[in-house]
Structure 1
Amino acid sequence: MTAMEDRWISISQLTARIKQTIEHNSDLQSVWLRGEISNFKKHSRGHMYFTIKDERSKISAVMFAGNNKSLAFEPENGMKVLIRGRVSVYEPFGQYQLYVNDMEPDGIGQLFIKYEQLKNQLEQEGLFREDMKKRLPAYPKKIAVITSPTGAAIRDVISTIKRRYPPAEIILYPVLVQGRDAAPSIVRALKQAEQHPGIDVVIAGRGGGSIEELWAFNEEIVARAFHSITIPIISAVGHETDFTIADFAADVRAATPTAAAELAVPSLIDVVQQVSSFEQRLHLAMNNHKKHGTERLKRLQGSYAFRYPMQLLQQKEQELDRLMDRLEKRRLLTLESSLSSFQMLQKRLELQHPERKLESSRKEYVQTAARLEKVKNRYLLNKQSEFHHVIQKLNLLNPLQILERGYQVSFDEKEELVSSIRQAVPGSRMDVQMKDGTVRTKIIETTHIRKWDFEKKEGEHNE
């Protein structure tokens, strides 16, 4: 029983053995594949999950964020790529898958990258701006068609224009539409069409094909020529869903050459119908105008002016007389007002006459001089009075005046003032200053007196 049980293994064990077998096979650890991407999904964490397939088989693949961050392009469904990676097993599902290390576009993918880079460059330069697009003429006389002379595109364009608008003249500029020399051939034809006198619109394009066959219309020189041409140009490359760079640079893009021809010219049937409609509207407008004019003429003929012209003329004569009277009154009032203003200005001018101004200034001068003389005399009297008052005060303080009253001043031998008997030494000399001279004396003795005796003598002397 134990030996039989050892033969059974779990699903996980089987999956692990398969994984080990694959990972130990060196041919499966470095594989180079060419295929097409489908079911592409980029996870929020940056990992890419997709299926790589060919005509008969497909395999699940994953490219982790660490490997895909250096890609020079953005993978998408339908893109053919070259892949280098390894094969292993995703154990939870028991599914083998490809772990991608490197990836690059294959063939068409390279063209796609080139297309996107050039498209972004020219868009940044402003070649595709809508405000720079030229309007197509409503009724072109000459139409330049730049395409292959042997392709289906020229037949479609010619038949459509002749059917819709036979008066238009078609001028064909045959060019190569694919291959290495196609782009220079298209540019030369555009320059020739621009130099041709009278060209109203240009149709440039070709029939449908693969991206490689249409590549001439993705070349930079063609796109710049489409943008710089001064004549309105329609891009007519025969593809419905995809756009060439020339489509973006052209003034108008048409899905097919036939659609380009329909955009370039109006339908003659529609034009005839439109002209007929305009003609009917014009006749209707003229009839209405004539009707309204006739009615107005009848109203005027029946009006008062036509029935009684003399009465109307007389009425207008009276209105003219009334207006003339009003005009004469207005003239007299204006004249009177002007005269009054003139007289007022004349009086003001006389008041401002220089002689009046001079006389007034003279009177003002005399009055000012008289006021100034009075002020001067009053000021002088005040100052004289103040001077006499100060002289009186000085006289009161003058020591000579005291001497006049009988007082004397004594000086010792050192010519110092003697104000006390303590300074008078017996036997010394002393000079006594009187009102009219000096007496030199010799001190014999000094006697003290009391204050009340001095005051008594002073009182007696005053009496």
Structure 2
Amino acid sequence: MLLTVSKLTTRIVQLFEQDDLLRDVQVIGEVSNWRRAASGHIYFRLKDEGATINAVMWKSHALAQSWLPKEGDQVIAHGYVGVYPESGAYQLYTNRLTPAGRGYLYAQFEALKERLRAAGLFDEARKRPLPQLPARLAIVTSPDAAALRDILRTLTARWPLVEVILFPTLVQGIDAPQRIAAAIAAANRYSNEVAPIDVLILARGGGSIEDLWAFNDEQVAIAVAQSAIPVISGVGHETDFTIVDFVADLRAATPTAAAVAAVQGRLDHHAQVMARMHTLHRRIRQRLDQERRTFERLLMRLQRIHPQRQLDQARLRLDERERRLHWAVQRALAQRGERLRAAEQRLEALNLLRVLARGYSIVQRMDGSVVTDPAMVHTGELLTVRSAGGEYRVEVKGEEASQ
């Protein structure tokens, strides 16, 4: 049978298409000659110790990959085997690539985790506290994700006053790490240039380790660490841990849990406000009591040192001294009156007129001297005689010696 090249190739293509085994295969092998074309398609080879097969992954499938291998990685390629007519060569058309065994991904995860830990990105000291009542909140996630709806529903129920700004991004695929990092950077620019954002939620719903692999990317981890906005990670389910969980300021088990952590519930807030009001009232009462006691002490001190009080006390002291002075004057006058009366009595007793009234007389010489001895006078001398009735002069006629 004589066939043209085209007919032969077409026949071979039909044979491949009719073989159910080749329509859905999983091939394990080592990646080599890895190349990404400008078109976005990826070309590589899979090999083992006995054979090599060419492989291709179209751009649409490549963009859906959360993880891409590098040269020398062991992978499982999912797809089908077909013939490329232009070259007549068969090749593996790959629609999904996964690591050959979870141990490989785990080793990558642990290696990056240790490197970032050594760089200090996991240190508790760099974790920032979250505001209790954020006014503005950013969400970095897929706009079509169920995680976004869960977050918005939770925020509305717990604290509807918060303003929510979505920064949409891919959360899965080869371009997801770059897009996530760019969305975080955009949120920070918005916070700096437009309006401050209090907290950022980085979220994605659950999935396989490959689906979540974008959140194990170093580029995303660094973007979270460099964010000036506190970051809550809510990636996957409760049992899922990614690198961003260790870098974020707070790790929440799910997107819904991230929303719960971001804002307080209205009832919780009301209870907290009431508790603080009670504490405030108690402290105000204590302060008022303290200030009242202080005021009373100061008032008593002021009353003691008040000028009017001092003046009143001075007046009392002056009145007391005046009373004592009056009493002292009266007493002194009384004492002096008594002494005067005694002196008068003594003077009265010694009064010359009283003596003369009893019949005595006083004889004085002309020079006024009192004659107390007859020898003081001479015969013919004029003398003055004072008696109770008056004075008269006498002349001495002679001298006689006293018997």
What TM-score comes out, normalization by structure 2 length? 0.48
TM-score (ref. length: structure 1): 0.42
Bigger RCO (CA 8 Å, 6+ sep) = 2
Higher normalized helix content (fraction of residues): 1
